[in-house]
Amino acid sequence: MTTHPNAPLTPEGRRRLCERIDTGRPIAHVAAEGGISRVALSGWYKRWLLHGEEGLQDRSSRPECNPNATDQDIVDMVLQIRVAEKWGAARIAAFLAECGDGSIVVSSATVHRILQRNGLGRVKDMDRPTGEAKRPVNRYEHDAPGDMIHVDIKKVGRIPHGGGWAVHGQGTDEHRASKRKASRTGRTGYAYLHSAVDDHSRLAYTEVLNDEKGTTAAEFWLRAVLFFREHGIHTIHRCLTDNGSPYRSNAFKEALEATRTVHKRTAPYTPRTNGKVERYNGIMVAEWLYVRAYDSDDERTSYLADFLNYYNHERPHSALGYKPPAIRVPITTHRAVPQSEGLPHITVEHFEEQPSLFDEM
């Protein structure tokens, strides 16, 4: 326990006073020397005689027995309901009041205190399926740019020409007309955002592609490597992906071999291991994909380069001391250009012969 700020004695001071009393000196005289009352010193001396130095330590003022405490059976019921159903304090209290003959009357405030004492105060700190406390967050960062690149794919709906429901309103005539114009089926389809994020600097690169096939992921990887080379990251040691089919393909394996990169995979159903690119996906959603209403998918794609340049060279990042990722890479003079309809077709055999994809500023 922390000693009270106004306490005149620490456990060591109490011991010294008790030792003076042991020499035969009157308690009143010793108490006056210590600046405390005779009653207070008498209490400390009794504890000294019974428990020695252990008795002079600060102890909780909470009583050992509280006759008004909630019955342990009710506490166990509260904890079991919380783990099983993830309900809040008010709902648990209402449920208990309806159980049996209605004799279990516990206020929501009492339920809340029970949950807090037992570490179940916040649902977000619990694993949803099991109700157990989540494992502690394991944060890591590699020492240099290129030590590891996080790669992932995000699937998003395409925007029909003229804008979708975000522009016209859901269920309106214009919304239905825009869907009919998309194709015979009225489906606009999906775009696949392939992204690569450097672990150390958080430098990011994204392309909007038509699918998530292995060959598509492989070509994206080769173009991403060119992007990082333009920023002075010439050697990429590791690539971290999930276990999706594009990353288990022979084409992606050959692309990694061409760049002399070791392939690392996350554990199954463990996206938090690839957390840097997952967080980047969330930033894309908030600051590019849905930051405004777009009239077409092409218009949205045209703003991707502006977002990338802002993210890499201007946007503050909390993990970097609120500095942009570019402060951690050797070269900062290149900027991404708007993505064209026909991205360069890169093969493993001619990878080293590819032109630059970027403008020098």
Band (48; pLDDT cuts 50, 70, 90): very high
Pick from 252-261, 272-281, 310-319, 346-355: least confident: 346-355
pLDDT at position 202? 96
306 vs 338: CA distance, rounded Å: 8
CA-to-CA separations, 261 to 235, 265, 349, in angstroms, rounded: 8, 13, 16
> Per CATH, which fold does 149-360 belong to?
Nucleotidyltransferase; domain 5 (3.30.420)
CA atoms of 12 and 19, how far apart (whole Å): 11
d(C-alpha 81, C-alpha 75), whole Å: 10
Percent of the chain beyond pLDDT 70? 88
DSSP string, 181-237: HH-TTS---EEEEEEEEETTT--EEEEEES---HHHHHHHHHHHHHHHHHTT-----
The model's pLDDT over 190-215, given as tens digits with 9 standing for 90+, comes to 999 999 999 999 999 999 999 999 99
Statement: residue 172 has pLDDT above 90: no
358 three-class SS: strand
Q: Is the pLDDT of residue 127 over 60?
A: yes
Q: In 3D, which of 23, 9, 295, 345 has the Cα closest to residue 165?
A: 295
Q: How far is CA 344 from CA 46, 132, 185, 220, 341, in A?
A: 87, 49, 31, 10, 10
User: What is the band of 359 on the pLDDT scale with cuts at 50, 70, 90?
Assistant: very low
What's the confidence (pLDDT) of residue 58?
Answer: 84
Neighbour-count burial for 128-145, b at 16+ CB within 10 Å, e otherwise: eeebeeeeeeeeeeeeeb
State the average pLDDT over residues 74-79.
Answer: 93
Residue 169's pLDDT is what? 65
Are the C-beta atoms of 278 and 193 separated by less than 8 Å?
A: no
The answer to whether residues 52 and 74 touch, using CB atoms and an 8 Å cutoff, is: no
pLDDT at position 180 over 90:
no
Query: Mean pLDDT, the chain, as a whole number?
Result: 86
pLDDT, greater one: 56 or 355: 56
In the chain, the amino acid numbered 336 is: A
**What is the reported pLDDT for 119?**
86
Sequence-separated (6 or more) residues with CB below 8 Å from residue 99:
none
Strand-pair category, 204-209 with 358-360: unpaired
Q: What confidence tier does 165 reach under pLDDT thresholds 50, 70, 90?
A: low
DSSP run (H or E) holding 44: helix 38-51
The torsion region of residue 227 among left (phi > 0), alpha (psi -120 to 50) and beta comes to alpha
Instruction: Report the pLDDT value the prediction gives residue 185, as an integer from 0 to 100.
Output: 47
Share of the chain above pLDDT 90, in %: 57
Give, rounded to a whole angstrom, the gap between the first and last alpha carbons of the chain.
60
The total number of residues written for the chain in this structure = 361
Strands 358-360 and 238-241: unpaired
State the Cα–Cα distance between residues 82 and 131, nearest whole angstrom: 8
Provide the 8-state DSSP code for 266.
P
DSSP H or E stretch at residue 156: strand 149-157
